[in-house]
Structure 1
Amino acid sequence: MSEKQTFDSLKVSEKLIEKLRESNITEPTAVQAQAIPLIFEGKSLLFQSETGTGKTYAYVLPLLTKIESAENSVSEGTAAKTPQIMIVAPTFELASQIKTQIKAVSDIKTALLIGGAPIKRQVENLKEKPAVIAGTPARLVELLKLKKIKTDGLKALVLDEADRLIAPELRDFTMELVNSVKKQVQLIAASATITKSAQKLLSASRIKADGSSETEVETLFLPPEDVLKKRITHLAVFAERRDKIDTLRKVLLAEKPSKALIFTGKLNQVENIVSKLKYKGIECYGLHAKTEKTERKSIIDRFRSGKIKTLVTSDLASRGLDIPEISHVIQMDMPSNEDFFVHRAGRTARAGKTGTNIVIGDEYEMKNYARIEKKLGLTVYPKVLFKGKLTAPFVPE
């Protein structure tokens, strides 16, 4: 049996380890234990691991340790003046979260470069010579074309939620970034799901014009920890469409979640749900694609800190976001794609915790839920509201 890995044995810097301890992170997850040594070796890597397994720190810790080492080995006057790490994320929320996670463990200067925010301010931030830049693909491409980002000193390019980044709507921007950096730059791609076409596309990006490969792209696929089966309790509550919001209100009162994330696939339903819950005295907030950027950030920050207990959202927030202590995910409809179901449910039971996923659905949606239950090997418990509690349905003898 191999010896259990620690952050120290993985050669993560002591400064970072101390900061991790302050956040009650004392042991590496499985993906961290396997990915960190490969990234330290400078290998280009595509790695896949379930939601909530610590993928961000799997690449952040070794890359930040490398920057610290480089800074310690050179005199102050010769420190790097251009970004050393570029992290690309599909959404403003995920890019912002990555910066927050870096800030939690390190004082290495990091710039957030996202669309929808003033580009002038971001240009000013780049003049402060950040070692790490994190942003969304379109804005990063825009800043590259304006020659505000220099990639000469870039050591690593990270694609977080890589499958989203190479989906049709973002692929052109992402590949422009990938192809704009030198072939020897370390390429790291992380996701809960990486397709064969994604592997092929990213591997091909490292091949030079003469057909040779500067850096071979390795793959790391972590066996599923079955978070969906083992740590999440799945419940089904039947409701006709017209009764759903009132049923949601009763479910919230019955379950008393410490922190609840409520999903609807219909953008225009977010405000409708929020207004009706507030009318009934339940304090909550809404988040969707049309929410103004600064307001989105404020809402997510307050939800993360616990100042907001109930958040209603479109599928904007269903992927990549790591909000601690979400006790309940409530789905007000069944998403058309089962991947969305998985990513929605995966917002709870993160970092080794347990959680509850509740679907409030009509007859059609319950049939769809039964199909997903069978396909994913889940156990779904039907529940009814009785005297202010969620209980098993009464079955007459």
Structure 2
Amino acid sequence: MLEKTPFNTLPAGLQEKLEQLSFTTPTKVQEQVIPAVSAKKNIVFQSETGTGKTFAYLLPLLQRIIENNAETSPNERPVLVIICAPTFELASQIKQTAMAVSNIKTALFIGGAPIKRQLETLKEKPQIVIGTPARLLELIRLKKLKTQHIFAIVFDEADRLVKKELYDESRSLVLSMPENVQKIACTATVDSSTKKFFSDCELLLLPAENVLTKNITHWAIYAENRDKIETLRKLIIAENPSKALVFTSRADQVENIYSKLKYKKIECTALHAKTDKQLRKAAIDRFKSGKIKILITSDLSARGLDIQNVTHIIQMDLPDDTDFFIHRAGRTARAGKKGINVLIGDEYEMRNYALLEKKLGITVYPKELRAGKVIVPEL
């Protein structure tokens, strides 16, 4: 007899899709969250990057929609679930994840896109609506997105959605939901603002799986600021990564790094907060498909993006916020795989990296580039 797990209690169709995607064993977060969501609890759960948070809330919600649809005709299927995300990239990714395991109609609504087209999409009767808070709220206020049948609202990357710049929209979204709506929130970092916003939710803090220490190798390569891009070029040639994400804190540096690498005949693509949404999507699609191996980005993409088989993270600076370092590094070594996280830093950044090494309990290995190879520096 098969051991009972949250996966084999799902409908057969969902199980089959998961098996086709090689997801046969739930992660620790899925083992705990799927039963809680299935029990219709209001929860906010914290778990590290790369531990399977999206499937943890999505699978039981899909199951509930499937059960609901068994009792209704296709013409009587309203919006049942709203999923709110802070960025276009994360919202788009959640939609792709839902469509990978289910045929339930799912729609994406983000700011900056033509609202007229989105109004047409609503006429197609999606049952799952995913989007950024301002656009979702706009559609609700226009009375085009009906909320009376919604049974669950999800806040993905909840800590960002309750920050000052998005707080009012997120709060208004909650207030526009039916009184008995199930509230689900997930994040890699629960802070006091998140706890306060979701004070009526059960807090589920998942034990650390130590992805940073178990599956990621951390390197430090010294370079003065003026030499960093050339050092990056040499590192790319030496390592020839299958997929590498290059991070910089400054949006204006993204274009600078991109243009200099292109000049040196390094094939790459770039995106940052000011990149046009269509160009941003094209850049991510080319990177995901493997057509381009190097993606240069600001911290816009450090959170939420789940791109498979990223072998290298290259940080062109050390962010002031430890969470940003963790979220950057967490783009590799996902789904149990291994990865390399590299900081290219100056003397000041190296000193701070040594402090961070102790704080996070990681081991950082100094490296040098010589004769086209990454080597251990001589003492």
TM-score between both structures, scaled by the size of structure 1 = 0.93
1:361 pairs, out of 325, 342, 345, with 345
**Cα distance in 2 for residues equivalent to 1:26 and 1:226:** 22
Paired residues for 1:128-167 under 5 Å: 128-167=124-163
Q: How does 1:311-350 map to 2 (within 5 A)?
A: 311-350=295-334
Deviations 1:159-200 (A, max 9, x none): 000001001111111111011112310000011111233122
Residue 22 of structure 1, CA deviation: 1.3
Q: Secondary structure at 1:187's aligned position in 2?
A: strand
Q: Counterparts of 1:322 and 1:195 in 2: how far apart (Å)?
A: 23
2:103 to 97, 100, 107: 107
Residue 63 (structure 2) aligned to one of 50, 62, 65? 65
Residue 377 of structure 2 is matched in structure 1 by 393
Please say if 1:19 is aligned against 2:17.
yes
More divergent stretch after superposition (327-336 vs 17-26): 17-26
CA distance in 2 between counterparts of 1:275 and 1:197 reads 39
Aligned mates of 1:16, 1:155 — CA distance in 2: 20
1:283 aligns with 2:267: yes
Deviations 1:11-68 (A, max 9, x none): 2111111111111111111111111111111111111110000000001100001111
Tell me what 1:371 maps to. 355
Aligned equivalents of 1:102, 1:301: Cα separation in 2: 17
For 1:42-57, what aligned pairs fall within 5 Å after superposition? 42-57=40-55
Distance in 1, Cα, partners of 2:295 & 2:196: 38
The letter for the 1-side match of 2:134 is A
Residue identity opposite 2:304 in structure 1: G
Determine which of 268, 275, 292 is the counterpart of 1:308: 292
Task: Using the TM superposition, name which of 152-161 and 217-226 deviates more.
Answer: 217-226
1:5 is aligned to: 5
Question: Residues of 1 paired with 2:291 and 2:132: CA distance?
Answer: 27
1:126-154 C-alpha deviation (Å, 9 max, x unpaired): 11110000000011111111111110000
Partner of 2:39: 41
2:183 aligned to which of 182, 187, 190: 187
Residue 168 of structure 1 corresponds to: 164
Amino acid at match of 1:133: V
Q: 1:83 aligns to what?
A: 79
Tell me if the contact between 2:6 and 2:30 (Cα under 8 Å) persists in the aligned partners.
Answer: no
Number of the residue aligned with 1:210: none
Give the gaps of 5 or more residues in structure 1.
205-216
Q: Which residue of 2 is the match for residue 224 of structure 1?
A: 208
Q: Distance in 2 between matches of 1:304 and 1:345?
A: 17
Q: Which letter does structure 2 place at the counterpart of 1:47? A: F
Local SS of the residue matching 2:300: helix
Structure 2 runs not aligned, ≥5 long: none
User: Deviations 1:230-259 (Å, cap 9, x if unpaired)?
Assistant: 110000000011000000000111111110
- Residue of structure 2 equivalent to 1:125: 121
**Preserved contact between residue 47 and residue 206 of structure 2 (Cα < 8 Å):** yes
Q: SS where residue 198 of structure 1 aligns?
A: helix
SS at 1:319 equivalent: coil
Q: Which residue of 1 aligns with 2:364?
A: 380
Counterpart amino acid of residue 86 in structure 2: P
Change (3 A) 1:294 1:18: same
Offset of residue 6 of structure 1: 5.2
* Letter paired with 1:129: K
SS in 2 for 1:164: helix
Map of 1:207 onto structure 2: none
Distance, in Å, in 1 between the alignment partners of 2:291 and 2:12 is 32
Aligned residues: 377
What amino acid maps onto 1:179 in structure 2? L
Distance in 1 of aligned mates of 2:14 and 2:120: 28
> What's the counterpart of residue 278 of structure 2?
294
Task: Give the residue type in structure 2 aligned to 1:366.
Answer: M
RMSD: 1.1
Q: TM-score, normalised by structure 2?
A: 0.97
Which amino acid is 1:26 matched to? T
**AA paired with 1:307?**
K
* One-letter amino acid matched to 1:12: L
Give, in angstroms, the shift of residue 275 of structure 1.
1.0
Which aligned runs of 4 or more in structure 1 are off by greater than 6 angstroms?
Answer: none
Give the whole-Å Cα distance in 1 for the aligned partners of 2:288 and 2:120.
Answer: 28
In 2: Cα distance, 1:197 partner to 1:313 partner:
27
